[in-house]
Structure 1
């Protein structure tokens, strides 16, 4: 799901975590979950969620929590631009949440911050998308329960491509050419996000590379990735990219308001775009950026984790099992009623009628054909290093090889810390 109500970059995880006080972290949170207090059991749990932008999401999460009879579950609905900072600073205090949503990252496991959940997930493990299980597994143990899968791809205005006399881009070079032909004095050809980093992973994958290989060694530094960065640089300097949209890539407004002809965004925004644009809306994956390389669809999404250092670990695990494993009605509601998301449970994905036809079905097919998932070993320091490549090679014009070399030093330092 998107964070449409804020300027939060969904991938800028933990960037300002150091130095924030716990008090500052919690003052911006909305914590009233609608209960009069206590719960039937007299036990209490706290869960952290970032402020989703889709209407009804906060009310839905609090409705689910209120229905749980095993504890009084308080929801901290964290608004603003620093969800990650507030979450991680709070984890260092005695006011830490019992459960929280986040993305699988190895340092959480290495530090003992999150609890393994094999005991609650094993009975239904075969019903989860295997790639979701893999992306949450370390040394044979599963950490986190996936709530939603969020495929990301390009949306476009069919009429604008037709007017410009161009087809759907099949390569990165064709995407750059399309951006040029679609740009007018009022409309930019392409929106990759205001800071250009939302497509980082897709660019690497579409160039036939990966962040890391199976031995946890750098795999993104290739000639084809360097060449793709040069195409990005050409688009950046050409004036064909939208760079100052009122909201970032996760918000559909750039395309809906006619600011751009093509926009990178997530499947969560599809209902809003369809309502505004109707049959004029189309989608396509990040196109191939190297000879023989496949297109790419980045699968974002969110997972629920249990704080292993909390005071109520067993109760927290019971709650996560109740809501995100047992309550299929709520899981389906969360995935399909507030924007579109692919349920990570195979049984729910197969019964999701809203995703069976039309553009949603096309999105699901792109996800199945080209979807790529987070690598749990790719940590925040590495995320920041790759974002630095975009800042240097694309925005500043640094030679891509030099920019990649700079990233290599930072990533190798992190890999040594994690793996020796």
Structure 2
């Protein structure tokens, strides 16, 4: 019977693609800031029989029978997240960080209300109001930018802009801003203009859980995040909010924006949140930031320009226009990919090229830190990247870098 056959038997092409992807991850250096490698425990949870269970509703209040065990799993995820973030209310059902943002918008805004958020080319995110995203199509969006000279957000300028725009919600958070947000100051600005504050911590969820990055929970009515980046849990999102918004948020997610929750992913979240409560995870998060600072310093020593001159967290944005004006982000990404170093092209403040070409690359340390890389290895990787960017068409450089990447991957396997 097909039901009893393995993946390789029933769908060999899918099985082969999965195997090749595992081999790709093992044999390359993953430096995309929004990616990580989960533990075997999280993989086990996400590949479990919970994928079979429909569980529309919430623990203790489902639309289907037979939910007693998935209720346990979801409540564990909720309780652990509540403890990790010192939260009043947590919803763990969003399928992604974008779905989490959607839930907040649906709970707090009406179509046509005004969002004030960081511009995409300055480090923001599609779901903060870009015109190609639902958020930019349903709401009126105004955007703030980083100071072109410093690469930092000018909070006095943001306060003045908020007074002028009179937004209904101010969004803090980003996909490519390398500095910590001043959540307290943004909360004050939002209060002054009678707006909500939504802090999107998608990239730094794990760093905040570990206590090494400032938390916005006491300074924002709503906090959203991804659960598969620096926190290394099941793929998806979560919403943290003040208790008075709990019913509105829960209703906005189900039945407002989603149907049945992905219970196998919620199990992965529960497992990852348990790992995040350990001293081992705190040490990991500290190493992520230490590695990023070491990498950034080495980049600058190698002649690369970094937006804002460095990083406070797990990622940095390399602006190629000063050091390599003819090299696009797309070309840099491709050249590095060819030698087994995986980064992504990224727009930079004042970008003149298209988002599909760009003038920069975004580089992150979470995945390599998970593999066990320390400061010495990060300096080696930085030198490899600089060498490739300096000579992207030199076969001797490419061969040497590829050989070193192979050695590093063998020394630091993901899944032994």
For normalisation by structure 2, the TM-score amounts to 0.27
Q: TM-score, normalised by structure 1?
A: 0.27
Greater helix fraction, Structure 1 or Structure 2: 2
